Each structure stands twice: as structure tokens, then as C-alpha cells.
Amino acid sequence: MEQKKEKAALGRRDFLKVATVGAAVGVISVASKDVNAGDVTPTNKDQAGYRETNHIAKYYELANI
């Protein structure tokens, strides 16, 4: 039972790895650099209005190490 679960998890991981990991090289570092540059505030508060939630900014900050 336990073994079967393990196998399924591996299948999913392999699938996602093939589909995303190579293609997404650079995506995370790009985003993190940008956040660290402090460039996330929209120019007009009443307009674009949508900022990153704090947890995202924190994630990128950590991922940049």
C-alpha cells in the first residue's frame, strides 16, 4: 500500500519535472531580482492597485539566496 503511494508520487513528480523544470530555468531568479529591486508598487494606487501578497515577496526573497 505504502509502496504504491510512493510510486504514484514519483510518477507525478517526474511528469512535472519534465514539463516545468527545464523550461522554467531563470524564471524564479528573474522574479526575485525584480522584487528585491523594490519595484512592485504600482504607479497609481487607484488604478493598477494589485500588489504582491506578502508571502510571495518573502518567497522570492528567500529563493534568491
Partner 1 sequence: MAETLVATCSLEEEQRARAGIYGLLARLLGAHPSEDALKEIANYPGDDTPIGSALGALATAAQETNYDDAQDEYNALFIGVVEGELIPFASHYLTGFLNDLPLASVRSDLNRLGVERSKDIKEPEDHIAFLFDVMVGLITHEFGDSIDEAEEQAFFEKHITPWAENFFNDLIKAKNAKLYAPVGLLALRFLDVETKGFRIAP
d(CA 16, CA 9): 11
Nearest-approach distance from CB 54 to partner 1, in angstroms: 5
d(CA 18, CA 16): 5
Does 2 contact partner 1 by CB under 8 A?
A: no
d(CA 39, CA 52): 11
For residue 52, the tally of other CB atoms under 10 A from its CB is 14
Does 5 contact partner 1 by CB under 8 A?
A: yes
Nearest-approach distance from CB 3 to partner 1, in angstroms: 11
* Site residues for partner 1 per CB under 8 A: 4-5, 8-9, 11-13, 15-28, 30-31, 33-34, 37, 39-40, 42-43, 47-56, 58-60, 62-63, 65
